[in-house]
Structure 1
Amino acid sequence: MSLPKPIMRGLLAKRLRFHLPIACIMALLAGATFKFTVAEPRKQAYADFYKKYDSMKDFNAMREAGVFESVRPSGE
């Protein structure tokens, strides 16, 4: 009993017809999953932060703490 010869002609094209659509669908699903589980919540967190962010208050707090060398704290 001998094994049949493997069919090599057209093997790549046959495998690609099956695997390429699956790979594309999985890539789209991974992208959509990342967008809705990571990117959108991050974008919303930034928007929420900057709604109530006061840059002058933050600057004055850093100035009073002595973070900046070129700006003197008020009161000197």
Structure 2
Amino acid sequence: MSLAKPAMRGLLAKRLRFHLPIAFALSIAAAAVFKYTVTEPRKQAYADFYKEYDAMKEFNAMKEAGVFQSVRPSGE
């Protein structure tokens, strides 16, 4: 009783036909999960922040705190 010879001819093509669609599907799924769990909440957080953001109010607060060297606080 002897062992059967392994099928070496066309082995790569056979394995690729099986694994390539799986890899493609998993990569699409990972991209979709990343989009809806990371990028969409981040875009919504930026939109919520800038909906109520007042740049002049922030500038005046930093000016009063003395952050800028070239701008004098309004009390001087």
Give the superposed CA RMSD.
Answer: 0.7
Q: Following TM superposition, by how much is the alpha carbon of 1:75 offset from its aligned partner in structure 2, in angstroms?
A: 1.2
Q: Which residue of 1 aligns with 2:31?
A: 31
Q: Following TM superposition, by how much is the alpha carbon of 1:6 offset from its aligned partner in structure 2, in angstroms?
A: 1.1
Identity %: 78
CA distance in 2, matches of 1:3, 1:58: 79
The total of aligned residue pairs comes to 76
Q: Which residue of 2 aligns with 1:51?
A: 51
Q: Following TM superposition, by how much is the alpha carbon of 1:42 offset from its aligned partner in structure 2, in angstroms?
A: 0.5
- 2:42 is equivalent to residue 42 of structure 1: yes
Q: Which residue of 2 aligns with 1:5?
A: 5
CA distance in 2, matches of 1:3, 1:67: 80
Q: Secondary structure at the match of 2:71?
A: coil
CA distance in 2, matches of 1:19, 1:27: 12
How high is the TM-score relative to the length of structure 2? 0.96
Gaps of at least 5 residues in structure 1 are none
Deviating 4+ runs (over 2 angstroms): none
